[in-house]
Structure 1
């Protein structure tokens, strides 16, 4: 029984991490985004077609938290794109393995985007493949692979998924 309760507690903690993560993105708190990761992390957005074929060709790749912080700075000060809002819906968080203090999870996501004109559309759907570790008493992403199902990204991919 203890093992079941421990696994349920772990799942709940990881679900809470994911909810805080998407809430930061959905409320435009992009400066908080790198704080969900350890310094030596990986973040990538990759088409399912490339992922399934084993091609290491993401459309976004950051290999540490410094690159995540740089991405936020460029979004705030350098990039030009239409103002928009994201709304994430996530489901199906499953713990796929727990080894050597690394927890691997998989879950589904859908992102709805609303542009300046007020039209909302499904922007992207896919799978999060995460590696999560404890850092200073809190769960953090060591790796977040965003594998999107859609065949193309319809507009500039500016904001993290």
Structure 2
């Protein structure tokens, strides 16, 4: 069982994560993770069948920083805004080192001169670790419901 104070901190982690992505503060994104971490964006079909293929898969904070550099300095794409709507996290398991939790999410995308569209919908499946800096993601798997991702996936989910 998770105490109230820790659950409030968990809610804050989810909210701040979404706010950082929505404000395009990309340099802060890797700081939500431990140094040795896993970040994956995976279609539901593959996740449910235990298949390893993922749309994105990064295995360390260094790889996340490389992604930030790539998407801000080298990848050419039409700019767009994101808006995350994240449900309240459900705590699945707690032990002395980790919190395993899940939360539903919806990401909306707005391109200049276009209407807002639903970009990606699914759930976060997380392993969260307490560190001296607070709660950090040891693992985040973004399991999206659609078998397709509109255009290319540039920004983190």
Residue 135 of structure 1, CA deviation: 1.4
| Separation in 1, partners of 2:73, 2:45 | 32
| Gaps in structure 1 of 5+ consecutive residues | none
Q: Deviations over 1:12-60 (max 9, x none)?
A: 1111001100100000001100000010000000000000011011110
1:123 aligns with 2:119: yes
Residue 136 of structure 1, CA deviation: 1.4
Residue 106 of structure 1: aligned partner: 102
Name the SS of the counterpart of 2:147 in structure 1: coil
Residue 99 of structure 1, CA deviation: 1.7
Q: With the length of structure 1 as denominator, give the TM-score of the two structures.
A: 0.94
Residue 31 of structure 2: aligned partner: 35
| Separation in 1, partners of 2:146, 2:3 | 33
4+ runs deviating over 3 angstroms: none
Identify which of 54, 57, 78 aligns with 1:61: 57
Query: Superposed, which structure 2 residues align to 1:150-161 within 5 Å?
Result: 150-161=146-157
| Separation in 2, partners of 1:100, 1:149 | 32
Residue 142 of structure 2: aligned partner: 146
| Separation in 1, partners of 2:97, 2:34 | 14
Report the aligned-residue RMSD.
1.1
Residue 7 of structure 1: aligned partner: 3
Residue 95 of structure 1: aligned partner: 91
Q: With the length of structure 2 as denominator, give the TM-score of the two structures.
A: 0.96
| Separation in 2, partners of 1:34, 1:117 | 30
1:70 aligns with 2:70: no
| Gaps in structure 2 of 5+ consecutive residues | none
Identify which of 35, 45, 51 aligns with 1:49: 45
Aligned pairs, number: 157
| Separation in 2, partners of 1:137, 1:101 | 14
